Structure 1
Amino acid sequence: MTTLLEQALALYSGLPAAERFHVHARASSAPLLSVVERMPGGTVADIGCGHGLLAALLSLADPARTVHAVDPDPRKVEWARRSLGALAQVKLAEGTVEDALAPRLPGACDAAVVCDVLYLLPEAKWPGFLRTVHGLLKPGGCFLLKEVEGDGSWKHRKALAQEWVMVSLLGRTKASGGMVLKPRAEMRALLSEAGFSVREVVDLGRGYTTPHVLYVAEASVA
């Protein structure tokens, strides 16, 4: 475990055991450090922050960075507030990007990140969601979208089964959609239609039992 990840996880030491387990499981199952490595400085929006682990990593990696983190689950936002209180540069809010960030930060962010969130929304809402994210960014701003790739592999099927357990059986994750996973070509097209130029598609699945993929995009100038 890297020092950065150790520092971030230490912030959660005061949480109940079930919540600490959830955060540690997230740390071990998702390539969050690879996302952090590609994040520019400045003002960042972390959309669907959950317990705030990625926001903590972003803040600890660059103390000059301001992270506006939002999640619709009041339970997770409260756990995040209890854990990240010492990180003044992390601004936590309960709600959706549409109601909690878009009215306050139009065109104000240097970067935005959405990490394992899109598939939890109804597919019909994806275009509007991505356009809202685009609206937060300065011209040329960076958008990092980390999703699970719908490639038809056993890892793909395992990821769907795992999320069904978390959403439907345990109620640990809130979802309002059908847990759809898309192939890379469709995701690139969606990003393009929302006004992004995809600069890089990074395969982050190696060493994981989930087909993680990261889309590095730039907000096109209107």
Structure 2
Amino acid sequence: MPEAAVPYPSLQPAALPRLIGAVAARYAGASRHTRHYVGTKLRRDPATEAILTLAVELGGFGTVADLGCGRGQLALLLLLAGGADSVLGMDRNGPALAEAQAAAEGLPARFTAADLATAPLPDCDTLLLVDVLYQLPLAAQRALLDRMVAAARRRIVIRAFDPDLGWRSRCGFVMEWLNRAGRGDLRRAAIEPMKLPALRAVLEQAGFRVSITPCWGGMPLPNVLLLAEKGSA
């Protein structure tokens, strides 16, 4: 029987490994690649602890829309930790969504196929966008942000690619090119991350307070975590 959600009021040293193990166990029926990917991604990606810690500090994310959710492991981690009340995951990868839905048995989670460049977004407390925005052409990035500020009732959380961090940004561009080459995906649009001042301006003009912190851990990458909350300072 899959483990039910257990609220964690704070992240004790042993809590995160236990949570990751509980999430990974839910993918026991998935493909071998997915079984390896889920646990490895959650353990190694600094976004895992950063986003879960943020959810704890804010008293939970409430209802969450996870845009570009992939296999859904971060959404399930939030649910098992009590960091989200419910999750709607949206992605174009049908097989990954099917594995996510199977892993979410018994949890308030739903995963649906959607093209984020055009799909309507659900009203929710928190919109989560991790490593997705820079994958889109610049015009589509702005269009998605416009739809996000209209849909998010309380906050938006983005892990973004900062193109202005010197050697870190150069490493990021190389890593993204290598990832695309490995997937045979080099015919996609050029990699054009929105500059952070422009991204911040879109959110602040829509009435959000914005804070940006590093989110690269020990990796040579230009990843930052952006929190945008509604309301005045």
Shorter chain as denominator, the TM-score bin is: 0.7 to 0.9
CA distance in 2, matches of 1:25, 1:147: 21
TM-score between both structures, scaled by the size of structure 2: 0.78
CA distance in 2, matches of 1:127, 1:192: 14
Which residue number corresponds to residue 181 of structure 2?
168
Question: Structure 1's 76 and 174: CA in aligned 2 closer, same or farther, altered over 3 A?
Answer: farther
Where in structure 1 are there 5+ consecutive unaligned residues? none
Q: In the TM superposition, what is the alpha-carbon distance from 1:63 to its structure 2 partner?
A: 7.2
Which residue number corresponds to residue 72 of structure 2?
52
2:226 counterpart of 1:215: yes
CA distance in 1, matches of 2:165, 2:31: 37
- Aligned-residue CA RMSD (Å): 2.7
TM-score between both structures, scaled by the size of structure 1: 0.82
Which residue number corresponds to residue 178 of structure 1?
190
**Matched ranges for 1:1-222 at <5 A:** 2-27=17-42, 28-39=44-55, 40-62=60-82, 65-84=85-104, 86-97=105-116, 101-102=120-121, 105=122, 108-138=123-153, 141-171=154-184, 176-193=188-205, 195-219=206-230
Q: In the TM superposition, what is the alpha-carbon distance from 1:71 to its structure 2 partner?
A: 0.4
Tell me, yes or no, if the aligned pair for 2:92 and 2:115 is still in contact at 8 Å: yes
Q: Of the two, which has the highest radius of gyration? A: 2
CA distance in 2, matches of 1:200, 1:19: 33
Alignment size in residue pairs: 212
Where in structure 2 are there 5+ consecutive unaligned residues? 1-15
Q: In the TM superposition, what is the alpha-carbon distance from 1:87 to its structure 2 partner?
A: 4.1
CA distance in 2, matches of 1:150, 1:207: 18
Question: Structure 1's 183 and 130: CA in aligned 2 closer, same or farther, altered over 3 A?
Answer: closer
CA distance in 2, matches of 1:10, 1:21: 11
Q: In the TM superposition, what is the alpha-carbon distance from 1:122 to its structure 2 partner?
A: 0.6
What letter matches 2:113 in structure 1?
E
Could you list the structure 1 runs, at least 4 aligned residues long, displaced by more than 4 angstroms after superposition: 97-101, 173-176
Q: In the TM superposition, what is the alpha-carbon distance from 1:82 to its structure 2 partner?
A: 2.9
SS in 1 for 2:219: coil
SS in 2 for 1:216: strand
* Overall identity of the aligned pairs, in %: 24
